[in-house]
Amino acid sequence: MARALLDRVTAPARLAELGRMTLQAVIEEGEGRLEAAGTLYGRAAEGWGSFGAPPLDARCLFDQGRCLLQLGDHGAMAALAQARDRAASLGARGLEVEAAAAEPA
The rounded distance, in Å, linking the Cα atoms of 93 and 99 is 10
CB atoms within 10 A of CB 87: 25
Rg of the Cα trace of the chain?
13
Contact 42, 22 (CB under 8 A): no
Residue 33, CB-side half-sphere exposure with 13 Å CA sphere: 11
Distance of CA 39 to the CA centre of its chain: 9
The rounded distance, in Å, linking the Cα atoms of 53 and 72 is 29
By three-state DSSP, how is residue 92 classified? coil
pLDDT at residue 57, rounded to an integer: 96
Please tell me the total count of domains within the chain: 1
pLDDT at residue 96, rounded to an integer: 79
By three-state DSSP, how is residue 73 classified? coil
pLDDT at residue 37, rounded to an integer: 98
CATH of the domain at 17: 1.25.40.10
User: Which residues of the chain carry a pLDDT beneath 50?
Assistant: none
Residue 86 belongs to what domain range?
2-102
pLDDT at residue 95, rounded to an integer: 83
